[in-house]
Amino acid sequence: MIQSNDVLKMIKEQEIRVVDIRFMDFPGVWQHFTVPVSEVEESSFEDGYGFDGSSLRGWQPINASDMLVVPDATTAKIDPFYEEPTLVMIGNIVDPITREPYSRDPRHIAQKAEAYLKQTGIGDTVYIGPEPEFFIFDDIRFHSGRNEAFYKIDSEEGIWNSGRDENPNLGYKPRHKEGYFPVPPMDKFQDIRTEMMLTLEDLGIAMECQHHEVASGGQAEIDMRFKPLLEMGDQMVWFKYVLKNVAHMHGRTVTFMPKPLFEDNGSGMHIHISIWKDGRPLFAGEKYAGLSQEALYAIGGILKHCGALCAITNPTTNSYKRLVPGFEAPINLAYSSRNRSAAVRVPMYSSSPKAKRLEFRTPDPSCNGYLAFSAIMMAVIDGIENRIDPGDPLDKNIYDLPPEELAQIASAPASLDEALVALEKDHEFLLKGDVFTKDVIERWIEYKMTSEVNAMRLRPHPHEFFMYYDI
């Protein structure tokens, strides 16, 4: 594990002249500032660096704006994009007066989540394996004003360009919902995805695979190998950073917005989770699909708290344009082995007990990884501690069920405001061990309702003019 003296040695050996300090804000955007190496000393890893917390969304009021970010030496990496060789460290946020960790720092919440798992005695390690989907576009334009609003997306791979004059147009554009996953020349982004994957590997992030995804217009997926919760939270911010910057170098743009295209697949982020104790997988056993009783209780926890979880794992108004009933979205609160129409799936690729895990399929990649992974783990723990029965598995295709049978299956929230109401009513499980605090829950709900839900409610939608202008 890298210590502060190792960082100082790395700076000297690699002739680093500048250091980037980064941290995650409340909604989930990586922030940074840069200092010359003359400002980096042994004491910097205790004293930290000051910044204005009132200028960041969802954080401090202007009358209590001073905050500190304290770099974590174990996170040191060399940035792969800056012209000047730059060492990057992720920091933790603390109060400059009390020196207490900041309750709204997402990374601190992840640290408390890992500590709470050990405190319960249920396990000592929680492994997280996300599968983030995203789009690579050639062009994106949008505007939202008082008297006009529009967006326009383009991609050389978009099937909508099959008739465009491209001097010449060579075809090979995936039809809607047929992008999974033909070889080039239909797949236009093989080399870019490989560059993304290898750049992440060069940063020390273990990778599993990359491939085109279902939608036309450049949908893709790149998977990282599972890691402990906090480490995966750190990797997720690097993941998004690398993908956006590699695309930018190629004159393209990456978005993790869940539903950018109408009538094609949205981007989800299936999250695999397993708990281990003393080197033993807790979720392997002799029950359904090779699961243990603890794993079944864990499923019960996820299904019970799914409404509240969605406020964190699917945190945008756009998230719910992917989670629409009847369109193969993982909204039905059921579990199954192999069946991908259930909200919780038990992957059956391997019979090894070490591979036994749960896959929560509802989340999407717009979430703040530190918060989402922590919240899912807290639901799992609550399920185990309270022996929550998940009911019987559903091995039928949910979308083929008759209406009367489908009506018996509960659903995930249909909108962000519905999810936020669910979180307001059901958050005691998140407060255990002080992992999430009342302040965090209340501020999250307030921020999302004011800045996002109400912002959308107040604005006419362009399609409303299409439907209603001539009334």
**Which active-site residues does the annotation give?**
52, 131, 133, 213, 221, 270, 340, 359, 361
Cis peptide bond prior to 185, omega within 30° of 0? yes
The pairing of beta strand 86-94 with beta strand 344-346: unpaired
Nearest to 235 by CA among 99, 354, 132, 104: 132
Q: What is the dihedral of CA 378, 379, 382, 386, to 10 degrees?
A: -170
Nearest to 87 by CA among 11, 12, 161: 11
The structure tokens 């108004």 sit at: 317
Between the alpha carbon of residue 437 and those of residues 91, 284, 310, 427, 458, the distances in Å are 20, 32, 18, 10, 30
